[in-house]
Amino acid sequence: MAPKKHKTHNTRRKLISKLNPMSPISEQFRTIRTNISFASVDKEMRLLMVTSSGPGEGKSTVLANLAVVFAQQGKKVLLIDADLRRPTAHYTFGLTNTFGLTTVLTKQGSLNETISKTEVENLHVLPSGPIPPNPAELLSSRMMTELLKKAKEDYHVVLLDTPPVLAVTDAQVLTNQCDGTILVVSSGKAEVEEVKKTKDLLLSANSNLLGVVLNNRKTQHTHYYYYGKE
Ligand SMILES: Nc1ncnc2c1ncn2[C@@H]1O[C@H](COP(=O)(O)OP(=O)(O)OP(=O)(O)O)[C@@H](O)[C@H]1O
Ligand SMILES: [Mg+2]
């Protein structure tokens, strides 16, 4: 029997921070943006990645919304879909995935001509491109390091989406090249032991772990409505 597909894995997604910037959820993303900016006094947080221990915890959702709120702040932002296992950025932003990160890494196109503009001002996206047979190898290549260096020269903020840490090594390969790593944990879904193991794996890969975003937490509305200026 064919495996069940993720319901919204391959459809256009709605981005709350773009559609409803005044909602309490968008406010939460702006709080995360502020926390990132203050995460380090010595080092500017320019190249960031999100990951999680398991699949479907909300990495891509958190990353895409963070990209929007950074762009809304007037920062020039590049979102790179480095999840070469289950890429979604092209769906989220309504782009084709014929060319992308893997096109640049295999020298079939330049970074500038492969990046796409989005409907969000200041926000550009590099989709994954065709899925290769050897993702970890490509992501740990010299080309990837050069690509990230060039991206940092051209953009104020570069955000990387990655696959889950406990499934494959891709995130561990990338984490030490990033200024900071954010761990997305799905409340009630992720096991404590697995999150601990993920943290240890990231730290042993020289990760600058900035913190955890707890996703899918049940909220008490009274508290949150206080901040909404609808
Ligand atoms: N807080 C939330 N409330 C409701 N739905 C959510 C929330 N966070 C994520 N989702 C939905 O859950 C699904 C999985 O989220 P997402 O694709 O962001 O996870 P992921 O960690 O990137 O998954 P993968 O491991 O497949 O890359 C998506 O359909 C997304 O729209
Ligand atoms: Mg994802």
Domains and CATH numbers, the chain: 2-228 (3.40.50.300)
pLDDT in the model for residue 1: 43
Q: Identify which ligand lies nearest to the alpha carbon of 185.
A: 1
Q: Which residue has the tokens 């495996």?
A: 3
Q: Whose CA is nearest to atom 5 of ligand 1?
A: 216
Give the tens place of pLDDT for each residue, 164-197. Answer: 999 999 999 999 999 999 999 999 888 999 999 9
**Is residue 106 lining ligand 1, measured as CB closer than 6 Å?**
no
- 146-170 pLDDT, tens per residue? 999 999 999 999 999 999 999 999 9
* For residues 8-21, average pLDDT: 82
Instruction: Check if the beta carbon of residue 89 is closer than 8 Å to that of residue 79.
Output: yes
CA distance 23 to 25: 5
> Mean pLDDT over all residues of the chain?
91
Residue 76 confidence (pLDDT) above 90: yes
User: What phi, psi does 158 have (nearest 5°)?
Assistant: -120, 125
